[in-house]
Structure 1
């Protein structure tokens, strides 16, 4: 279970009392998440009926200096009616508090389930929702650099080294060359906004075909919108069991996105190469995690070759996706 710090009932009740949400009724640890401690909290509420929230303690990976950006972006998008949970501020107006030397934030609970086998209709809804947060996020005043850009991915692969990469799979060292090409790609003329940057199906809540929540904005940054679209395409449009591309899902996502925010000509021309770089990001991060995780660890290591295959798909077909 992803609860690294255990808070007692009295501690949780005292913490919840700092918010105008009523009294604590229950708090249950949430298994999802690998970097933070999370609880599903139920309170007595301030009106009719109880209320539920997600309480998060930031344990690692997230810099304290980034929290105003992450939490502020949630509020900004939520205020503009995007399906994004708002931050619950404490009685003093703070978006997060310090508990045991760690930052703690309370986030609005949104209904829905993450799809495990997305349909074309669900991919369409996600494409439209992604375009909306791009449009509404452009005027958010804070900025954050992308720490998982193409140059960062190359640096990770080079740090792993050819020998170690080959130990994971013999084909991995060959991906250093396309990673260098991606790092050299000039995207400076493409339109930018504040983007999610990690919109996998498990970061989306849905009720049927409706997107009810886009969550886990902890890779969000200010970068090229087409990169976010390509990342989402790579995450949503391949069958989970076979890793084969689903053209209906892919076309639905891209068409719905462009119905809300049509791509510029330069974005369309570079989309195939951007998608290759997006796939290589997860090759790099998974290779790094693979090498950092002991073989006997009670953690299932994610295979970087899954996204190596998706990179190959984009290398061979990316230029035709928006034709």
Structure 2
């Protein structure tokens, strides 16, 4: 569990008076995430989620909260931010930016079947299309510039084999980012972190996407690749499960058809998605931040996925 900022019921009881939610009745920490402090809050009007942002600033947060509101208003299943009596979505708590959003029903599906993957693929395509007219822009803060900044900080800790892999893949991705196929990929706001634990299901019914705090503007194909690399693999080996991959891609394509440039970029983008999370896990592992009960994820999981994506062609997009 990652709780950087402790919050008590007394803290919340006074703070929450500015929101149209009634009295706070209970608060408990959420045992997930390594970037923010998250809590379930029970109020007289029901359950909500409180997030205290540990790394994102007051200036950065409007992109994320307004994107969620934009999507919710267009029928995409995401938590809806709650404004205070001044119409503000971001309000200080313990001197840090904080926000309240609606709580999704259901639970995470950690052993997804093709039906779950199809539901995620269709909703992801709907999300991309719904965000096309979102007026705010912000780059993916964990994109190529971040990879270049972080790589020198983790290289000294790696074995010769892994250091060679990281240098070679960075060279490949930097080169690919200059090619014509990449430049012509469809772009817009993306979730950029749509793992199994960031989606809620009730049975096979998708109840919603959440945790948009890595969102930014990037290629839609990158978002698809991140999602496939988590939902459609054997967790022990990183090998893609073709039935789940096909279900997700076909469902996405039925809502927002893939392009020829996306088809040409599919294999490099799967590698890019694996590299992004290998790098972030290496950074969290070797450059840890002080936090209560913070356990970084194992970097070797995405090292295996990256090696597998380099070695084995993936199923086609369409």
TM-score higher than 0.5: yes
CA contact (8 A) 1:275 1:318 kept: no
| Corresponding position: 1:173 with 2:182 | no
**Matched residue, 2:220:** 225
- Superposed CA deviations along residues 97-130 of structure 1, whole A, max 9, x for unmatched, are 1122111111001101111111111111111111
- Of residues 115, 132, 137, the one that matches 1:138 is 132
**Matched residue, 2:113:** 119
**Matched residue, 1:93:** 87
* d(CA) in 2 for partners of 1:61, 1:130: 26
**Matched residue, 2:276:** 281
| Corresponding position: 1:208 with 2:199 | no
**Matched residue, 1:33:** 33
* d(CA) in 2 for partners of 1:2, 1:290: 14
Matched ranges for 1:1-323 at <5 A? 1-45=1-45, 51-58=46-53, 60-161=54-155, 163-166=156-159, 170-185=161-176, 186=178, 187-293=182-288, 299-318=294-313, 320-322=315-317
Alpha carbons of 1:189 and 1:101: their partners in 2 closer, same or farther (altered >3 Å)? same
Give the number of equivalent residue pairs.
Answer: 312
Alpha carbons of 1:153 and 1:34: their partners in 2 closer, same or farther (altered >3 Å)? same
- Superposed CA deviations along residues 113-151 of structure 1, whole A, max 9, x for unmatched, are 111111111111111111010000111000011121134
Query: Greater relative contact order (Cα 8 A, min sep 6): structure 1 or 2?
Result: 2
CA contact (8 A) 1:96 1:105 kept: yes
Gap regions ≥5 residues in structure 1: 46-50
CA contact (8 A) 1:273 1:318 kept: no
CA contact (8 A) 2:263 2:316 kept: no
CA contact (8 A) 2:237 2:305 kept: no
- Aligned to 1:88, what secondary structure does the other structure show? coil
- Superposed CA deviations along residues 143-195 of structure 1, whole A, max 9, x for unmatched, are 0111211343243223322x4211xx733433311221112223222111110
CA contact (8 A) 1:143 1:221 kept: yes
Q: What TM-score, normalized by structure 1, do the two folds share? A: 0.90
**Matched residue, 1:48:** none
Alpha carbons of 1:18 and 1:139: their partners in 2 closer, same or farther (altered >3 Å)? same
CA contact (8 A) 2:131 2:188 kept: yes
* d(CA) in 2 for partners of 1:270, 1:310: 17
Cα deviation, residue 242, structure 1: 4.1
**What is the CA RMSD across the aligned residues, in angstroms?**
2.0
- Aligned to 1:86, what secondary structure does the other structure show? coil
CA contact (8 A) 2:199 2:210 kept: yes
